[in-house]
A and B are shown apart, each in its own frame.
Chain A
């Protein structure tokens, strides 16, 4: 995984929303470089622009101005917006996403949910990836269950497997533990940490929970659309003795 060595760099990134005639800069002149194999977390209060930033970094949205670089490629330069099609192409090639609400398809089994991205796009070498990931995440015994039959923590593990099935370079996690209790939250963050450490997966995580944010290699805080780094290196003694994580 990650042979492409993709880093992501935001240069003077800006996203302005219009509310009536008023301009609201949700992301205001943010510059940030995330290297391959990095694990960053972004915290901040509601409305600080952290979700807007992760959406821009994850190519879910076009910025108003600024530049984004993926490895050597410059994207959004001169503020030229990409079409939905172009955004999708980048997303499925490079990114995996997990969300607070998991968004598993309730009518598909755990295994089918994990394999779903392959229905639309399939990278070479992903033949046995779904089964491998479910095993790695300790969910192989649940593969024939429906999402309604498993717990929230298990659902997020399935969502992680789904995000990973096409072997992405970067994993975006938007409040991945927002719907989980403390114990399950710890487990999920531990899973992310191990993916980062063992296979060099780049992870960008947004959370409102400073304890979880400290697990990342670098920690940023968003406030009024501006970003600043507040910590470097894992600060997560809280989780070091946790029995959670990968089985």
Chain B
């Protein structure tokens, strides 16, 4: 007994190159689709992870102060505004607050950085509290500075690579002409910490002439508390703004949404092109087999049988193409991630393309659905072929 599936499958082998090209078209569009959907969920995941890694949920800074380190770097520290350290005590009293961490960001112009100089950022922290805040930070060499007044630095992985410094080396802060001793080099984290030079808070305050002043206070909340009341209260403090990292995330996601719409449009166009390709292939195949289909009807095939036969052909193409495309996407997800990182204005660390089983199944269902849709017209057309007309015709002779 020979099944309709076997007949359909063998027929696709008749014009191997044509079937293969159609298959490639479907595979490519499935690849684009699954990669982009994977990017949609991967990006958000990676961003969440980045924000979790920051270790705090709320930031407090002076009104009008840029809260993005990138912005600060671009402006060269000119946009920085300061808050008084005394505010720390008030904040620590609040019942929702687990811990508060003082931070001071500073930047100087380094004429030796890059071709025409650049901005070097310094991050003043209290070693003990900062280590508590970021337990994920690991040392490649050395350890945190112990004295908050010491002239010592801990360098992020990339900063140390760039400056070619190891533990025990000295490093000069340009503009201020102050020398520091490198006491620690961090391992790579994939976050902006990699490019940062950490300095004891008091030392940095002294060098920049801003005693008792901070740029940022990070607030870590107690587990499971609602931050709404606290945020409201903090808003009432004079000249202070509160930024929740959830807000930061929202802002980034909004920026990204435009890019998402673009990539999704590309995916839809890719799928439409593949769909037209499938319709064309199957229609041509039906046209070439006009007589043969007529003969199938004389030997007992009902219109619905022919419809199914042609539909199965479309489904086989789409199923194989879909599986190939998804396989390709899984294999190349890292490469896709790198490409996306290259074109995106901001990309969080970690894998940007996250393809899980659910996504694989959704994509496969989508490709098969599109296949069924593309097969409708050719299958309907084939089902309507009248045996007599087919036998009389000259097509295929």
With an 8 Å Cβ cutoff, the count of chain A residues facing the other chain is 27
Q: Contacts A97-B298, A112-B2 known; A107 to B10 CB distance under 8 Å?
A: yes
B391 at the interface (CB under 8 A from A): yes
Residue-by-residue, is A113-142 near B (CB-CB < 8 Å gives 1, otherwise 0)?
001111111000000000000000000000
Chain B, residues 1-12, CB within 8 Å of chain A (1/0): the string is 111101100110
Chain A min CB distance to B114 (Å) = 65
The answer to the question of B176 belonging to the interface, with a C-beta cut-off of 8 Å to chain A, is no
- Asked if B295 contacts A108 (CB within 8 A), the reply is no
* Whole-angstrom CA separation of A146 from B288 in the bound complex: 19
Q: Which of A60, A103, A120 contacts B305, CB < 8 Å?
A: A120
Stretch of A2-10, A83-91, A201-209, A228-236 contacting B (4+ beta carbons < 8 Å): A83-91
B303 in the interface (beta carbon within 8 A): yes
Tell me if B300 and A106 are in contact (CB < 8 A): no
Expressed in whole angstroms, the Cα–Cα distance for A88 and B387 within the complex equals 10
Do B300 and A60 touch (CB < 8 A)? no
Known: A105-B7, A112-B2, A116-B7. Is A85-B302 also a contact (CB below 8 A)? yes
Q: In chain A, what residue has the closest Cβ to B13? A: A107
What's the least CB distance linking A88 to chain B, in Å? 6
CB–CB A162/B7 < 8 A: no
**Contact between A91 and B300, CB atoms less than 8 A apart:** yes
Measured between beta carbons, the chain B residues less than 8 angstroms from A166 are 300
Q: How far is the CA of A85 from the CA of B199 in the complex (A)?
A: 87
**Which residues of chain A from 70 to 121 have any CB-CB distance to chain B below 8 Å in the complex?**
84-85, 88, 91-92, 97, 99, 101, 103, 105-108, 112, 115-121
Taking CB atoms, residues of chain A closer than 8 Å to B291 are 101, 103
Other-chain contact of B388, A55, A101, A119, A120 (Cβ < 8 Å): A55
Interface centre among B13, B300, B391, B397 (most CB of A within 10 A): B300
Residues in chain A near residue B299, CB distance under 8 A: 92, 97, 116-117, 120, 162-163
Whether, in the assembled complex, A61 has its beta carbon less than 8 Å from a beta carbon of chain B, the answer is: yes
Determine the chain B residues whose CB is within 8 A of the CB of A105 once the complex forms: 7, 10-11, 292
Pick from B1, B14, B300, B397: contact of A92, CB under 8 Å: B300
Beta-carbon contact of A88 and B301 below 8 Å: yes
Q: Does B297 contact A (CB under 8 A)?
A: yes
Contact A60 B387 (CB under 8 A): yes
Q: How far is the CA of A201 from the CA of B262 in the complex (A)?
A: 69
Q: Does B296 contact A (CB under 8 A)?
A: yes
B249 at the interface (CB under 8 A from A): no
B287 lies within 8 A of chain A by Cβ: no
Chain B residues positioned under 8 Å from A88 (CB to CB):
297, 300-302
In angstroms, Cα B292 to Cα A162, docked, is: 14
Q: How many A-B residue pairs have CB under 8 A?
A: 69
Residue numbers in A under 8 Å from B298 (CB-CB): 60, 91, 97
Instruction: Give the distance to chain A from B2, nearest Cβ to Cβ, in Å.
Output: 5
B296–A84 touching, CB < 8 Å = no
B302, A119: Cβ atoms closer than 8 Å: no
Determine if B386 is an interface residue (Cβ-Cβ < 8 Å): yes
CB contacts (< 8 Å) of B387 on chain A: these are: 60
Of the candidates A55, A99, A107, A119, the one whose C-beta lies within 8 Å of that of B1 is A119
- For the residues of B in contact with A, the DSSP-based class is helix
Provide the residues of chain B in CB contact with A112, threshold 8 Å: 2, 6
The answer to whether B3 touches A119, judged by C-beta atoms less than 8 angstroms apart, is yes
With the chains together, A137 CA to B117 CA distance in Å? 92
CB within 8 Å of A: which B3-36 residues: 3-4, 6-7, 10-11, 13-14
Residues of A within 8 A of B1 (CB): 115, 118-119
Separation in Å of the A176 CB from the closest CB of chain B?
Answer: 14
Beyond A92-B300, A108-B10, A166-B300, whether A119 also contacts B2 by CB under 8 A is yes
Structural contact, A103 and B7, CB atoms closer than 8 A: no
Chain A residues with CB under 8 Å of B300's CB are: 88, 91-92, 117, 120-121, 166
Q: Which residues of B contact A84 (CB under 8 A)?
A: 297, 303, 386
Residues of B within 8 A of A101 (CB): 291, 397
**Among candidates B4, B11, B297, B386, residue contacting A119 with C-beta atoms closer than 8 Å:** B4
Quick check: B303 and A85 within 8 Å, CB to CB?
A: yes
CB of A61, distance to nearest CB on chain B (Å): 5
Give Cα A61 to B291, complex, Å: 16
Which A residues are in CB contact (< 8 Å) with B391? 60, 99
Tell which of B11, B305, B387 has the most Cβ of chain A within 10 Å.
Answer: B387
Q: Which residues of A contact B2 (CB under 8 A)?
A: 108, 112, 115-116, 118-119
Distance in Å: Cβ of A59 to nearest Cβ of chain B: 9
Q: For window 31-88 of chain A, which residues contact chain B by CB distance below 8 Å? A: 55, 60-61, 84-85, 88
Residues of A within 8 A of B386 (CB): 84
Contact status A61-B388, CB under 8 Å: yes
B10 shortest CB reach to chain A, Å: 4
Beyond A88-B302, A108-B10, A112-B2, list 10 extra A-B contacts (CB 8 Å): A84-B386, A105-B7, A105-B10, A107-B14, A108-B7, A118-B1, A119-B1, A120-B296, A162-B299, A163-B299
Binding site for A on B (CB under 8 A): 1-4, 6-7, 10-11, 13-14, 291-292, 295-303, 305, 386-388, 391, 397
Q: What are 18 inter-chain pairs, A to B, with CB distance below 8 A?
A: A60-B298, A61-B388, A84-B297, A84-B303, A85-B302, A92-B300, A99-B295, A99-B391, A107-B11, A107-B13, A116-B296, A116-B299, A117-B299, A119-B2, A119-B4, A120-B299, A120-B302, A121-B300
**Which 10 A-B pairs have CB atoms at the shortest separation, nearest pair first?**
A92-B300, A121-B300, A107-B10, A103-B295, A120-B301, A117-B299, A120-B300, A112-B2, A60-B388, A120-B305
